[in-house]
Amino acid sequence: MDEKEHSIRFINSSYDTLFRIPDGGTVEVQFPDRKFTARCKYLDDYHTVVGNSVFHICEFAEHLEAQNGSVRPEPEITAEQAAWQLGHREYLALQRTDSGFDYTIYSEGFELKDGGQLDAPELTMKQAREQILEMHGMIRRNRFEVSFVEVAEKAEAVQASVLKQLQDLKGSLTHESRQGKEKTHGGKETR
**From 55-69, 102-116, 127-141, 152-166, the region with the lowest mean pLDDT:** 152-166
pLDDT at 152: 93
Chain-wide mean pLDDT for the chain? 88
Residue 189 has pLDDT above 70, yes or no: no
Mean pLDDT, residues 145-170 taken together: 83
- What is the CB neighbour count within 10 angstroms for residue 110? 20
**From 117-126, 140-149, 159-168, the region with the lowest mean pLDDT:** 159-168
Q: What is the pTM of this model?
A: 0.77
Which region holds residue 100: left if phi is over 0, alpha if psi is between -120 and 50, else beta?
Answer: left
